[in-house]
Amino acid sequence: MRERTAWILGGIAAALPVVGLLVWLNLNGDSKPVEIPSLPQSPTGPSHPRLQVLDEPGRWESESSASNASVTNSNTCHLDTRWGLNGHCLFLEEKVFDPDGAVTYEFAVKHYNTNINMYHYTVVQDDGYVRGFVGNWKVGSGRLEWQSVYLPGAPKDVVQRMNEMQLAPGKRETRTEISRGGQLEITAVTRAERKGSAQTELPATPATLELARLGRGGIWNESESLTVDGQSKTIRMTSRARWTPGGRALLYEGVVHSESEKEYFMWIKTYDRETKIYRFIHFHTDGPVDHFEGSWEESTKTITWRSIQPPGEYLIRETIVSPAHRNWHVEAYDEQGKAYYTSDGESRLLE
């Protein structure tokens, strides 16, 4: 088991749910905001009523404690929440203050998966580790129940569960349990209170050299030529990238240009400082979440991404031509290992 995580003895932040998003402007060369009309930076509400059971947008302050058989840890947090991806997702970001003065950042996304009729909760930790959960809304009790479905590197018998409850308008409580082999190892509780509107910060920058390789914040124009079952076509997209506060992850929101209904997509990329691998989370427009792990090849400036969930289905080679220009090649495989989909794409930063 990963020794740095709170499901053994580590900092409380690894065991606790997070909320919040600090939103900033992505600027062009004239220092004026660049807008994507169909993808506003600050959506005013959710895209569907079922998302209203998630955290209320705004600034939250919380106190948390987590315990195992011998140790209790505590911290306080400043949290900001906003709608993202034109109201399809709730972005949650927190700045955690430990009693010893240490500050860490976490980023999370909550949304709904129409394929399985469940909520998704994806957490990117300060150190680049990623956790994934699915959840159900319990009508009548006013709570969301979450269970882990993605804890890379953890033993298969480790399970993390969380119950979120609204105690009163602007007041929430989350209780967390982490067990292994059916035995409870860690319990935690977070109590949060809404204090007003979400706060805004200046643009963040990547925290490490490894993260800086992933690109830059701003507006990107993209094209992708793909072949599916022998049929070829080209699609064009416009996307907005921004670094999460603390510079721990690159968030990328995009829209596909089409004459039909708008199709949105999103991904998050980060670097796991412990395992020395890149992590890539792709959010499909109808809700599913794909997880990738990537390795860097210095000689070719290429990250090779392999899908971990679903396992072995996708292979992506992303070449960093420059911080403002990248190319990629995608292959998708069926259960027999036969490629049924290939594509080649290019992204350029609008400067």
Name the token pair of 38: 């169909």
Output phi, psi for 202, to 5 deg: -70, 165
Which CATH number does the domain housing residue 134 bear?
2.40.128.20
In the chain, the N- to C-terminal Cα span, in Å, equals 44
For residues 248 and 105, is the Cβ–Cβ distance under 8 A? yes
Write out pLDDT tens, residues 291-322. Answer: 999 999 999 999 999 999 988 889 999 999 99
Whole-number pLDDT of residue 190: 97
Structure tokens at 226: 């793909």
Token look-up 């919040």 returns: 20
81 in a domain, yes or no? yes
Domain end position, chosen among 196, 222, 243: 196
Whole-structure pTM value: 0.88
What's CA 176's distance to the chain center, in Å?
A: 20
Number of domains in the chain: 2
pLDDT string in tens for the chain (351-residue length): 333 343 322 333 333 332 222 222 222 333 344 568 778 887 889 999 999 999 999 999 999 999 998 999 999 999 999 999 999 999 999 999 999 999 999 999 999 999 999 999 999 999 999 999 999 999 888 899 999 999 999 999 999 999 999 999 999 999 999 999 999 999 999 999 999 999 877 778 999 999 999 999 999 999 999 887 778 899 999 999 999 999 999 999 999 987 777 789 999 999 999 999 999 999 988 899 999 999 999 999 999 999 999 888 899 999 999 989 999 999 999 888 888 889 999 999 996
pLDDT tens-digit map of 24-72: 222 233 334 456 877 888 788 999 999 999 999 999 999 999 999 899 9
- Same domain assignment for residues 281 and 181: no
The residues near 12 (Cβ < 8 Å, ≥ 6 apart) are: 6, 64, 65, 66, 73, 74, 75, 96, 98, 188
Residue 163, domain member (yes or no): yes
167 shares its domain with 244 = no
Domain assignment present for 161:
yes
Q: Which domain holds residue 73?
A: 12-27+37-196
CA-closest candidate to residue 226, choices 239, 214, 236: 236
Residue 202 maps to a domain: no
Q: What is the pLDDT of residue 34?
A: 58
**92 domain-assigned:** yes
Question: Rounded CA gap, 257 and 263, in Å?
Answer: 8
